Structure 1
Amino acid sequence: MSKKIYFTPGPSQLYFTVEEHIKNALKKNILSISHRSKTFKILYEECIENIKILFNLNKNYHIAFTSSANEIWERIIQNLIVKTSIHYVNGSFSKKFYDYTKMYNINSKIIESFNKPYNYNIEYSNEELIAITLNETSTGISCPNDKIIEARSKFKNSLIALDCVSGTPSIPFEIKNVDTFYFSVQKCFGLPSGLGVWIYNNECIDRCFDKINKKEIVGSYHSLIKLNELGKKNQTPETPNVFGIYLLKNVINDMLKKGIVNIINETNYKSKIIDFTIKNHPQISHLIKNEAIRSKTVKVANTNKKSNYLIDKLINQNLIIGKGYGNNDYQIRIANFPTHSKENIEMLCDIISRTEF
C-alpha cells in the first residue's frame, strides 16, 4: 500500500528529507541533550545562521524561537504595542490577531479586504503597529510585494509586522520593508508543529524598551528583551523545542542547497497547474477571482456539492487535501509547499480533473 501524501495547508506533508534527519537525531541523542549544554549552543547558533542566510538578514535583524506563530501574535502585542494598531484582515487568521489585541484593550482598527489588494488610503494617525499578512491560510489570499513596499512608504512612523506563516520561503518579499515577520514550521518548511520563528529588528527592541520605561508590562520569561538577551548567548529562557530546532536547521540547509530561487520557481509552476485544474473542473471554482492576490501556496476553491465527496474520493487514493477553513463544507484547500514535488502536484491535479463527485 502506498503512503498517503498530505496536501493539507498545515500540518502538511513532511519535507522529503525529514525522515532521515529524524533518524540522525536519534542516533546523535539530540532529543536528550540539555538546553544549557555546549552541544545545544552549537545547534542553536547553526540554526540561527541558516535562517539568516535563507532570508539574507543584515545585522539589524534578530531571531527568537517560540512555541508557535499564535504565541508571536501575543508577544507582539505585549512588547510592541502600547495603545494603537491597524490590522489589514483578509481571513480568519489575520482576524484572530486583531481579536487578540482587543483582549488586551488595544485601540486597534480593522480594515477588511477580500477580493482586492490592501487599500492603504485611510486616515492615519501614526498608529504604533501595522499588521499585514503575506499569505492568509484560511482564504488563500496573498499580499504582493509591491503592496508591502507601499505599506512601508505610507506608514513610515509605524512598526510593520508581516505574518508569513504559510508563505515563506515560497513567496518572496523585501525584508527591509518590514520591522518584524514570523512563521511556524508546519507549513512551507514541512516540519512537525510546535515551533515558531520570530524575526525582528532593532526598532522593535527600542519599542520594547520604550514600553518598559513607561512601566508597561512586556511579559515575563518570553519578553522580547529576555529572548533577545539570551539569544545572543545561543540560549533560550526555557527548555525549547530542541528537536524542532534541529530539524529546522537541517531542512533549511537542504533548501539552501536546492536554492531559494529554484523553490520559488517551482512554486510558481505548480501554482499554475493547480489554477488550471480548478478553472477547468465543472464542479470547482476559485474562491479568489483576482489572480493578483490569489495565493500560490494555499489554493482555496468552492465546490458545487459538499466537498467531502471529493475529499473522500481522493482519500481512497491516499491523497489528502484540506477542507474549507472552519465549518465551510463547500470548499477545499490544497497546499503547494516546497515538499510537494512537481510530479505529486501533477498527479493530484490529473486525478482531480478526472474525478466527478
Structure 2
Amino acid sequence: MRYNFYPGPSKIYPQVAGYFEQAMESGILERNHRSSAFQDLFSETRTLLKSKLNIPLNYAIAMVSSATECWEIIAQSFIERKSYHFFNGAFGEKWWSYTQKIRLQSEAISFGIDELPKLPTIVKNAELLAFTHNETSNGTSIDENFQKEVRTQFPNSLISYDATSSMAGYEFDWDLGDIWYASVQKCFGLPAGMALMVVSPKAIERAVEINESNHYNSFHFILQNVRNNQTHYTPNVANIYLLNRLMQSVENISAIHRNLKERKALFFAQLEKLQNLSSLVHSTKFQSDTVFCLAGEQEFIQKLKREAEREGIILGNGYGQWKENTIRIANFPAIPNQHYIDLIKFLSHF
C-alpha cells in the first residue's frame, strides 16, 4: 500500500477516478465554456460549495488557475497604495514579496511561530491586511479569536486570508475575512491546476470602486464573467466537474473539520511518546489542524525519510529555514483515518 502524506499536491480522493470517467462520458470536457452546459455546471458547483463549506450566499466565488495567481489579482484589483502583510513562514513572505513588485509601499510584519502577529503599529484605515491562515511551511495557523480581534480593530479594512492548506479542511467564519483563496490540490483532494477565490460584498464594492481593468486577470473582468456563470478564460473544466461531483458526495465542512481535529489529537498524543521527534510548533494554540510539522536532528530526519520511502510512505520535506530538520505531514480530508494509525505505528517502530 502507498501512503501519501505530502502537504500538496497530496492524496486525491479515490472516487475522483470514477468521476473523471463520468466527465469523459458526459461530453462536458468538450463543451465551450460559453455554452449553457458549462454555465449550468459552473453555477451548480458554486451553489454546492456554498452549501458544503457554509459560505455566505452573498459572497462571490471565482475560479482561477492557482493560489499564487491570487497574489497578483489581489495586488492589482483590491489595493491602490499599500497593504500590510503578516507572516511567520515562507509562503506568507512570498505573498508579500510578490505584492511589493506591484505595490511598492506594501509593508511586511513578521512574527514567531509560537506567537500572534502584532497589530498596534498598523494604521486604522489600512487598505488591506494580508494573513496566511495556515502556513504550510511550518504547520502554524491563525485561530478564530485572533481573526475576530482583527475584524474588530480594523472594521473598514479589507482582510485577506491565504487558506491554501486549510480551505475545505477548516470550518471558517467567512465573515471574518473579505478575500479567501486556495488551490484545490490540498484539502480539496483534487488534482492541481485550479484555485478558488471567495470574496465578500465589501471587497467586491472596493474592487468596483478601484475599477482596475488593465489586465486579463483583473478582478473586475473576472467578476463580470462570474455573474454570467462563466470564467474569463478557458477554464480547467475537468477540475470544475470533479469539484462538482466531490461536493455532492462529501460531508458538510463541520463534520470534516471535527474529524480532522480528532485525528490531530490522536496523532499528537502518540507523538509525545516518541523521543526523536517533536512538534516544531510548541503551543497547541498555534498548531495547524491540517499540516503537522515535526522537528528532529537533521541526520535522524534524513534516515526517517529514507526508511519511510522504502515502506511506501511519502512524507513532506521541510521547507524554507526548516528544510533540513523537519518533516511535514498533511492531515487532509482525503487521507483515510487508518493511514494515520499505520503512520503512528511506523514512527513508533522506527
TM-score (norm 2): 0.95
Aligned to 1:22: 20
Alignment of structure 1 residues 136-151 onto 2, 5 Å: 136-151=135-150
Aligned to 2:275: 282
Task: Indicate if the aligned counterparts of 1:308 and 1:323 stay in contact, CA closer than 8 A.
Answer: no
CA-CA distance at 1:31 after TM superposition: 2.4
Structure 1 residues 58-105: Cα deviation after superposition (integer angstroms, max 9, x where no partner): 343101110001001110000001112111102111111110121113
The residue matched to 1:280 in structure 2 has which SS?
A: coil
The residue matched to 1:292 in structure 2 has which SS?
A: coil
Q: Residues 106 and 157 of structure 1: is their aligned pair in 2 closer, same or farther, counting only changes over 3 Å? A: farther
Q: Residues 259 and 60 of structure 1: is their aligned pair in 2 closer, same or farther, counting only changes over 3 Å? A: closer
- Give me the whole-angstrom Cα distance separating, in 2, the residues matched to 1:141 and 1:5: 23
Q: Unaligned stretches of 5+ in structure 1?
A: none
1:184 and 2:193 matched: no
Alignment of structure 1 residues 1-357 onto 2, 5 Å: 2=1, 4-113=2-111, 114-212=113-211, 217-255=212-250, 258-306=251-299, 307-326=301-320, 328-355=323-350
CA-CA distance at 1:302 after TM superposition: 1.0
CA-CA distance at 1:305 after TM superposition: 3.3
- Give me the whole-angstrom Cα distance separating, in 2, the residues matched to 1:16 and 1:166: 19
CA-CA distance at 1:218 after TM superposition: 4.2
Letter in 2 for 1:349: I
CA-CA distance at 1:150 after TM superposition: 0.7
Structure 1 residues 165-224: Cα deviation after superposition (integer angstroms, max 9, x where no partner): 101222222111211111110000111111010111222222223223xxxx44422211
Letter in 2 for 1:342: N
- Give me the whole-angstrom Cα distance separating, in 1, the residues matched to 2:242 and 2:126: 38
Task: Indicate if the aligned counterparts of 1:286 and 1:301 stay in contact, CA closer than 8 A.
Answer: yes
Task: Indicate if the aligned counterparts of 1:267 and 1:296 stay in contact, CA closer than 8 A.
Answer: yes
- Give me the whole-angstrom Cα distance separating, in 1, the residues matched to 2:57 and 2:168: 20
CA-CA distance at 1:30 after TM superposition: 3.0
Letter in 1 for 2:207: C
The residue matched to 2:298 in structure 1 has which SS?
A: coil
Letter in 2 for 1:34: N
Q: Provide the aligned C-alpha RMSD in A.
A: 1.5
CA-CA distance at 1:41 after TM superposition: 1.1
The residue matched to 1:51 in structure 2 has which SS?
A: helix
The residue matched to 1:291 in structure 2 has which SS?
A: coil
Q: Which moved more, 1:221-230 or 1:88-97?
A: 221-230
CA-CA distance at 1:262 after TM superposition: 2.0
Letter in 2 for 1:353: S
- Give me the whole-angstrom Cα distance separating, in 1, the residues matched to 2:343 and 2:117: 32
The residue matched to 2:294 in structure 1 has which SS?
A: strand
- Give me the whole-angstrom Cα distance separating, in 1, the residues matched to 2:41 and 2:209: 32
- Give me the whole-angstrom Cα distance separating, in 2, the residues matched to 1:219 and 1:268: 43
TM-score (norm 1): 0.93
Task: Indicate if the aligned counterparts of 1:85 and 1:106 stay in contact, CA closer than 8 A.
Answer: no
- Give me the whole-angstrom Cα distance separating, in 1, the residues matched to 2:210 and 2:332: 38
Q: Residues 184 and 346 of structure 1: is their aligned pair in 2 closer, same or farther, counting only changes over 3 Å? A: same
Task: Indicate if the aligned counterparts of 2:213 and 2:221 stay in contact, CA closer than 8 A.
Answer: no
Q: Which moved more, 1:41-50 or 1:258-267?
A: 258-267
Number of residue pairs matched by the alignment: 347
CA-CA distance at 1:351 after TM superposition: 0.9
- Give me the whole-angstrom Cα distance separating, in 2, the residues matched to 1:56 and 1:254: 15
CA-CA distance at 1:349 after TM superposition: 1.2
CA-CA distance at 1:162 after TM superposition: 1.1
- Give me the whole-angstrom Cα distance separating, in 2, the residues matched to 1:321 and 1:219: 42
CA-CA distance at 1:16 after TM superposition: 2.7
Q: Which moved more, 1:183-192 or 1:17-26?
A: 17-26
- Give me the whole-angstrom Cα distance separating, in 1, the residues matched to 2:55 and 2:342: 37
Q: Residues 184 and 219 of structure 1: is their aligned pair in 2 closer, same or farther, counting only changes over 3 Å? A: farther
Q: Which moved more, 1:8-17 or 1:49-58?
A: 49-58
The residue matched to 2:327 in structure 1 has which SS?
A: strand
